[in-house]
């Protein structure tokens, strides 16, 4: 089984970033993905996490040279990780779903809305961990073809 930690939108929240660091190291995720809007926290986490860590830039990471998307494979699944602002995710999910399908992804990780959510849009599982600045994060369990998202809050 593959276990992933997913965070987004820390917006300079050192408190919640530190709590997530402790959780991630304790849980020993196979990898952690950060979906933008907190590049300084992303760089801080990258130096301290004991597992692979990747991140994308968000709309508040204005001058970042960090990629705006990642496409990674975990088991038989292809994951597209984006912040979401370039796909109008506050208003609709179809644009991001179509883009994921074009890229061959069956799982999409996105942020930007600050609203935790996990749902299928078309054939893709779309997971938004919510905003880390509110204590929200997600875990993704991949066991063969079965993918189980968990939307969580730190401290619960």
Domains, the chain, with CATH or none: 2-153 (3.60.21.10)
Residue 16 near residue 135, CB atoms below 8 Å = yes
Q: What are phi and psi for residue 24, nearest 5 degrees?
A: -60, -45
Please state, in angstroms and rounded to a whole number, the distance separating the CA atoms of residues 63 and 53: 21
pLDDT tens by residue, 107-126? 999 999 999 999 999 999 99
Inter-residue contact 70 to 54 (CB < 8 Å):
yes
Report whether pLDDT(75) > 80: yes
pTM of the model: 0.96
- In total, the chain counts a number of residues equal to 156
């Amino acid at each position: 089984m593959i276990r992933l930690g997913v965070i987004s939108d820390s917006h300079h929240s050192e408190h919640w970033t530190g709590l997530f660091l402790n959780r991630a190291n304790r849980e020993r995720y196979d990898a952690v993905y950060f979906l933008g809007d907190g590049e300084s926290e992303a760089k801080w986490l990258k130096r301290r996490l004991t597992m692979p860590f990747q991140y994308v830039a968000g709309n508040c990471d204005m001058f970042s040279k960090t990629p705006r998307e990642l496409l990674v494979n975990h088991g038989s699944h292809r994951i597209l990780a984006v912040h979401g602002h370039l796909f109008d995710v506050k208003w609709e999910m179809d644009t991001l779903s179509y883009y994921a399908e074009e890229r061959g992804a069956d799982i999409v990780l996105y942020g930007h809305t600050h609203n935790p959510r996990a749902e299928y849009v078309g054939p893709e599982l779309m997971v938004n961990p919510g905003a880390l600045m509110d204590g929200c994060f997600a875990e993704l369990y991949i066991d063969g073809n079965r993918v189980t998202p968990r939307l969580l809050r730190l401290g619960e």
